[in-house]
Structure formats: structure tokens, C-alpha cells
Amino acid sequence: MAENKPAVWVFCEQANDEPLKIGLELLAKGRTLADQLDTELVAVILGKDLRAAAPCLIKGGADRVLAVQHPDLAEYAAEPYADVLVQLAKERQPVVWLFGATFVGRDLAPVVAVGLETGLSADCTELTIGADGLLHQIVPAFRGMATIICPAARPQMATVRPGVFQALPPDETRQGEVEWLTAEPVKARLQTIGRQRYADQGAPLEEAERVVAGGAGIDGQEGWDLLNQLAQALGAAVGATRPPLDDGFVAEGQMIGQSGKTVRPKLYIGIGISGEMQHLVGIQDAELVIAINKDPKAAIFPAADYGIVGDYKQIVPLLLEQLQMERQV
């Protein structure tokens, strides 16, 4: 690994001095990219006290951690965070910089990109180093996948949603260097005055082992009640396509796909879903895909391991009956 080559950077979010999973997921992908480019993988983390968080990033795949500590960086705020990050990048000139497409990353990465006068690809579903040595940033678009490159400006910046990449198992023996840095961030005009958590809605969709998802084919509350029954019988989380979200049958956090969540369950059952690319990108890592659709030509069937052609109103009750019988045996 060449230390003087421009490095691959990953911005790692933290809460209460604990690194968030998204940073570790990005470090796993960053590790591959840095190895391909024969350069260092650098984790960048900001906070008030990072003594516990920083070493975890080495165990998660980083060669070096830039840990910037200041009381004003305890809570995320776009201005001081972007100020510090832009200064740091101007000094050290990374070649690639990855951010999570989280609430923080979506807010912060564009401000940093503007500060560095470079480009930014949002919601990438794959990142590779092409034969041209550039970062190929793959996003679902135009009913397929588009590859975006940033030919001249640096760093090449991209955001990736949680769950798209898998974190490496922590390697306790990994060696790396933590640089403890101080900063004088600008004062934030917006201050966090309190936090309120959403009510607990059970296991997050992106971590569920089983997912039952409904689409526009589920034509009313009765249909959704049936789908919820199936999900309950299977111990599955409920997901959806965009139309049920627009129609108010599901909450924002339940949409799967390009603008929603990426899931990687052992079992995914898609009911009344046509299989548009914008939905399929969110289930590409599901282990077993079962599709139920009354249209035998639906695009979801070629993407499924098992397909059931028929009306869900007949099929789901049969599945529930079968599950009930198996439970009684």
C-alpha cells in the first residue's frame, strides 16, 4: 500500500462515541476500493470524545482514522461539520470519499461537495474501480442501471444507503493509526435543543430476516390486513412499493427500493408487485424471493426463485392455512 497516494476516505457517523453501522458498511466497500487503488483507507470521524469510537474503525477495516474532537462537534450540525471536513480534504486531497445516504449524510455530503467544487452521486447501489482507474458509481436510472463517473474533480464523492454493503467482522488484531486532531469549527446557526425517538416499531426492515412486501395489487385495507396476517404468521417485517405509500397504507420507512430501504432478508415474499427496477434494486441481496402476481408476464417473476401466478386474495389465505396446519403438527 502506497501511503503517499491519495487515499480513499469514508465519513463515519457516531452517536455517543459509538460508530454507527453505516460507517462500518462503507469501510467494508472502501477497503476493496483502497486495495484496488493500492492506497490507504481513511476513516474520518467528528465528535466531542472519540476515544472509544476511533479504534473500532481500525477493526472495521481502516488503515488510518482522522478523529477530530471538539465540544461543538458533539451533535451533528451541517455548518461546523462541513467546515471541518472541507478544510481537512483541502489539506490532504483524498481521491474518493464515501458518505452514508442517512439523514446526516444526505444533508452533509452536498455541502462538502460544493465546498470542494466536486461532484456527488447520491444513493449508489454499487461502487467499483473501473479499468480507467476511476470510481464507477452505479445508480438505478432509466429503467436500468447507470454508471456515473467524475472524470476531473476530486474527490470522487458518493452516498450509499444503509444496508447496501455489509460491514466486515471486527478484526481485533488489525493495526492502524489514529490521528487525534483538533479544530476550530464555525458556530452552527442551528442548534439541537432536544431529541425525541420514534416509537419502537420492532426490528428495522433492513435487518429483518423475513420480509413480506405488498404493492399496488393489494387493493385496499382488507388486502393489507391479509398481508399483515401473513407477515405475523411468518414473523416477518412488512415492506411495500411506492404506490401503497402514496395511498397511505404504509409508512415512509416501509418502502423498499431506490428511494426507500435496501433489505437483505433470508426470505422475501412480494405480493401484487410488478417488479419495476426501482423496487428490485432494494431486494437484490435477498436470499430467497417468492413472488405472487396474477399477471404471468410480470417482471418480478424472472427476478424470483419461486413464482405463484394468481390472485393474492386466493393464495394468501391458502398460505395462512398451510402455516396454521404446520404449526399444529
Ligand X SMILES: Cc1cc2nc3c(=O)[nH]c(=O)nc-3n(C[C@H](O)[C@H](O)[C@H](O)COP(=O)(O)OP(=O)(O)OC[C@H]3O[C@@H](n4cnc5c(N)ncnc54)[C@H](O)[C@@H]3O)c2cc1C
Q: How far is the CB of 293 from ligand X (least distance, A)?
A: 4
Nearest to 32 by CA among 8, 57, 64: 8
In the β-sheet with 126-129, what is the strand arrangement from edge to edge?
126-129, 135-141, 144-148
Tell which one of 39, 159, 241, 254 touches ligand X (CB under 6 A).
241
Determine, following the binding rule CB under 6 A, whether residue 263 of this chain makes contact with ligand X: no
Q: Are 118 and 157 in contact (CB under 8 A)?
A: yes
Tell which one of 30, 60, 80, 243 touches ligand X (CB under 6 A).
243
Tell which one of 47, 185, 257, 265 touches ligand X (CB under 6 A).
257
What's the rounded Cα separation, in Å, for the pair 28 and 49? 24
Encode 180-242 in three state secondary structure.
EEECCCCCCCCCCCCCCCCCCCCCCHHHCCEEEEECCCCCCHHHHHHHHHHHHHHCCEEEECH
What's the rounded Cα separation, in Å, for the pair 234 and 232? 5
Determine, following the binding rule CB under 6 A, whether residue 217 of this chain makes contact with ligand X: yes
Tell which one of 35, 107, 209, 276 touches ligand X (CB under 6 A).
276
Which is it for strands 120-124 and 96-100: parallel, antiparallel or unpaired?
A: unpaired
Interface with ligand X by CB under 6 A: which range of 16-24, 44-52, 67-75, 269-277? Answer: 269-277
Tell which one of 19, 61, 119, 215 touches ligand X (CB under 6 A).
215
Q: How far is the CB of 32 from ligand X (least distance, A)?
A: 26
Tell which one of 14, 39, 125, 274 touches ligand X (CB under 6 A).
274
Determine, following the binding rule CB under 6 A, whether residue 125 of this chain makes contact with ligand X: no
Cα 59–Cα 64–Cα 74 angle in degrees, nearest 5: 85
User: Toward ligand X, which CB reaches closer, 57 or 124?
Assistant: 124
User: Toward ligand X, which CB reaches closer, 82 or 269?
Assistant: 269
Tell which one of 87, 228, 278, 284 touches ligand X (CB under 6 A).
278
Determine, following the binding rule CB under 6 A, whether residue 159 of this chain makes contact with ligand X: no
Q: Are 59 and 24 in contact (CB under 8 A)?
A: no
Peptide bond just before 265 cis, omega within 30 deg:
no
Tell which one of 108, 298, 304, 319 touches ligand X (CB under 6 A).
298
What's the rounded Cα separation, in Å, for the pair 143 and 18? 39
- 279-313 in b/e form (b: 16+ CB < 10 A) is bbbbbebbeebbbbbeeeebbbbebbeebbeeebe
Tell which one of 47, 163, 176, 260 touches ligand X (CB under 6 A).
260
Determine, following the binding rule CB under 6 A, whether residue 246 of this chain makes contact with ligand X: no
User: Toward ligand X, which CB reaches closer, 14 or 254?
Assistant: 254
Tell which one of 33, 255, 269, 283 touches ligand X (CB under 6 A).
255
Determine, following the binding rule CB under 6 A, whether residue 293 of this chain makes contact with ligand X: yes
Positions in the binding site for ligand X (CB under 6 A): 215-217, 241-243, 255-260, 272-274, 276, 278-279, 292-295, 298, 311-313
